[in-house]
Amino acid sequence: MTQQQWWKGGVLYQIYPRSFQDSNGDGIGDLVGITSKLDYVASLDVDGIWLSPFFTSPMKDFGYDVSDYRNVDSMFGTLDDFCTLIARAHSLGLKVIIDQVLSHTSDQHPWFQESRVNRVNAKSSWYVWADPRPDGTPPNNWLAVPGGSAWTFDSRRCQYYLHNFLTSQPDLNFHNPEVRQAQLENMRFWLELGVDGFRFDTVNFYFHDKELRDNPAVEPGRDQPLGYSRDNPHSYQWQQYNINRPENIEFLKAIRQVMDCYPGSTTVGEVGGNKSLPIMKAYTSGGDKLHMAYTFDLLQGELSPAYVREVIQRFEQDAEDAWPCWALSNHDVTRIASRWGNGDAPELPKLAMAMLLAMRGSVCLYQGEELGLPEAEVPFERLQDPFGMPRWPEYKGRDGCRTPMPWRREGEYAGFSQVDTWLPLAAAHRALSVESQEADPASLLNDVRRMLAFRRAHRALQKGAIELVEMGEECLAWLRSDEQERLLCVFNFSMQAHRCPLPAIAVDAVLLEGSSFHGAQLVTEGTHELALGPYQAAFLALK
């Protein structure tokens, strides 16, 4: 059972294939390149990798617009290359999780090409089609995530089709049982090839309201959605009817039934949109739906003890057996080194990593996060992201977190490729290259390795319960505990040294070594405090 539940408290390393390693000299990363770097990934002491999409695609949204669910895009290699990758990962003790983009396809997918021909073909109801209003306008007020209407008119059917994202990403109709079954069969294909599980893109977007009711508006001055932005009208609505529909629960149960046929496999869902923490709890509780899920609550928002504490409180309230998978960075958001601290605090990524690895749940680390890479500045003429180009410069898109991995400090392309890369390498990333940090015992890379080893050595950090502890405004603290140990985890988010009053439960606490943080002190003369330096963490064993 322990081996089958490797994911519970496990750490996944997310790889964005286009930007990890180029093996064939075209400036784009590929599967053979990933395989060549798996020794490095294994050296981090993570449990597995999550691969962003590598499926056949016109790449309008860089693989999140699939045109063939069962094949590898030639840009990344072949199915044989993927099988070789799985075999090498497994030989190194790494699990392999791959993306599944089920909610929508590319408009080049054969399913959509057939569906749009007329209203009576075999795939006519595989997508969400609706008649225009009498005045020709879209069926309702739903907005796409990039902005603008979520509906596009098709002149062949004289109907609108739904797309929660780009116009080239039509939404599948999950009310149709044939669609649900087809996607379950696509999952089985990859499980039979040997993958250890799936990360489900936009897992709460599968079903829509059959009545196509209008979404309510966000009232000005009231509680606003996470990630609210005045420059994107999508933020102006509560996504009440286009996502988070109750029918989704039964489909997640069907997914779990498939996964249960492959012992040791796992699932992690991406839950976006409004008020996502309750959805994450609902989707991962009961042992019959997803194994784990993550939201954008720590991928956006501010860095402060109060905010992080509030996120944990909201999730843990009535969480029961729900299981989170926390992340601070991924391919869709500004890198943590820049988002928290504006890049002005080089110690902050280390503190953020320690905090992440001490939270209750599983963890996703995004490639380069272990190096402390800041967000790259990509000039407008080199932008690739279709979300960013229309809204530049107010929103620069997602290219800044997707630039190639810096393997070496020297060389024109930093060891990633031999030719110009699909996105430019950031000059600031060279000094933070893997090669540079490998040689420095005090580097963030080596600190991350020590912290991951520290987490693995303490079962309470992997699977234990969590209880928030009050230790002043500047310090964030919680207790992690299981039947064998109790650990007090304390984080100083201040730019200044700080003395945190210790709670009564820590009277006989002992500072633990090995987490890569040094210098914290217990002050017991006339007081009972923990002295922490700027952006420093401490882990204490309680008797």
- Domain assignment present for residue 412? The answer is yes
SS3 assignment, position 239: coil
Residues 483 and 439 in one domain: no
**Sign of the CA dihedral running 451, 453, 458, 460:** positive
Tokens of 359: 């939270």
Q: Would you state the pLDDT for residue 53?
A: 98
**Mean pLDDT, each 10-residue run in order, the chain (543 residues):** 86 98 98 98 98 98 98 98 98 98 98 98 98 98 95 98 98 98 98 98 98 93 72 90 97 98 98 92 98 95 88 94 97 93 79 97 98 95 92 90 97 96 96 97 97 97 96 92 96 92 90 93 85 95 93
Helix axes 348-357, 444-457, angle to 10 degrees: 20
Contacts with 427 (C-beta within 8 Å, 6 or more apart), sequence order: none
Check which CATH number belongs to the domain holding 505 and give it. Answer: 2.60.40.1180
- Domain assignment present for residue 84? The answer is yes
Tokens of 189: 């294909």
Residues 447 and 502 in one domain: no
Q: What is the DSSP string of 462-511?
A: HH-EEEEE---SSEEEEEEE-SS-EEEEEEE-SSS-EEEEPPGGGTT-EE
Instruction: Please list the helix, strand and coil fractions of the chain in percent, rounded to the nearest 5, in that order.
Output: 25, 20, 55
Compute the distance between CA of residue 182 and CA of residue 114 in angstroms, rounded to an integer.
Answer: 15
Contacts with 185 (C-beta within 8 Å, 6 or more apart), sequence order: none
Residues 318 and 378 in one domain: yes
Residues 388 and 408 in one domain: yes
Residues 342 and 421 in one domain: yes
Q: Would you state the pLDDT for residue 342?
A: 67
Residues 401 and 510 in one domain: no
pTM over 0.95: yes
Check which CATH number belongs to the domain holding 272 and give it. Answer: 3.20.20.80
User: pLDDT tens for residues 382-428?
Assistant: 999 999 888 888 889 999 999 999 999 999 999 999 999 999 999 99
Show which residues are catalytic: 201, 270
Residues 340 and 483 in one domain: no
* Residue-range definition of the domain harbouring residue 293: 11-105+177-207+248-453
Residues 407 and 533 in one domain: no
- For the chain, the first-to-last Cα distance in angstroms comes to 29
Q: What is the DSSP string of 319-382?
A: -TT--BEEES--TTS--HHHHTTTT--TTHHHHHHHHHHTSSSEEEEETTGGGTPPPPP--GGG
Q: Structural domain tally of the chain?
A: 2
Residues 444 and 534 in one domain: no
Q: Would you state the pLDDT for residue 507?
A: 86
Buried b (16+ CB within 10 A) or exposed e, 395-424: bbbbbbbbbbbbbebebebbbbbeeebbbb
- Domain assignment present for residue 143? The answer is no
Q: Would you state the pLDDT for residue 446?
A: 98
- Domain assignment present for residue 136? The answer is no
